[in-house]
Every structure is written in C-alpha cells, then in structure tokens.
Structure 1
Amino acid sequence: MSKITMLVAVLGFVAAAGAAQAMTAAPIGPNPSIASDVRMGCGPGMQPNAFNRCVPNRRAPVMRRLVCPRGTHLAPSGRRCLPNRF
C-alpha cells in the first residue's frame, strides 16, 4: 500500500511541477535607462528647464513670517512692523 501512496504522491508532484510556469529574473538595482531619461543628460545637481536647457536644482524658498512685538502690526508688504493707532 505504501508503494501506491508513494506513486500517487510522485505523480501529483510531477503534474504540479509541469503545470508551473517559470518566472523571468528581475534585474537587480535601478534601471540605468530610467535614470538617464529623468536627468535628460544634465548631470547630477542639474535639471532641464522649459527650454530644455540645463539649470541647477534650486531649493524651495523658505517663507519666514515676521513676528511683530506688542503694540505693532505687520505691514501689508509683510516686511516690517508698524505701530498700532488707537
């Protein structure tokens, strides 16, 4: 009886292995063609502008909010403090 059980197990394994499809190996690491498309040949620290010229990467401007002392308020320009009028 164990020979029949062993034969059924082997045939089941062979049938399952034959039905399985192999998966292709994925490349390891970043794809170099994607990186060159993003930079478009500008080099590190550079990016293309609207006219496809290479310009340096810039940081976003930091918006500082001026805090005025008591008795003053912020001017409409946002650059200086004006005294309050009563």
Structure 2
Amino acid sequence: MLRVSDIMEKEIINIKNGKRMGFITDINLDINEGKIMSFTVSGDGGRSLFSRGDEGQVIFFNDILKIGCDTIIVNIGSELNIDDFNI
C-alpha cells in the first residue's frame, strides 16, 4: 500500500522520450468508484498537494507502467524524434 505522501515524492519519467516530467502536484479521485483517475504533474519541482498557478500536465492512471522506489514510469505521447536534437 502506498500513501499519498510517498507517491508525491517520486519523480515522473516518460519512457517514450526519457524526459523527466516533474512531480505529482494533484491527485484526481473518483470517490464513487474508489479509484485514482489521474495525476497532475508540475515540471517546476513544486511538490505541494494544494499548490496554485500552473495547471500542469494530466497523466491518467492507465498511462502508468511502473511505480518504483524513486520514480514513476509513464507511457505518454509520441516516440522520440531524432530531429529534436542538434547533432
């Protein structure tokens, strides 16, 4: 069993492009079903559950591949594009 405080300390990494997305700033629950629906992630490093300002990026629970000791691995967006790099 994980506590909310444990989840919010884990960094979100997108497996599609290897980018660090930030930390969870909000958790969206379906109270009727008793399920987590999605997380809101802020890339500014803010870790407050009640933070205001930037809306952040929403990650649906189905996009989570693995919750590890230090990170949460997600599968979001398109594949890494080699044109994104200046080589």
Q: TM-score, normalised by structure 1?
A: 0.15
Q: Which has the higher helix share?
A: 1
Q: Which has the higher strand share?
A: 2
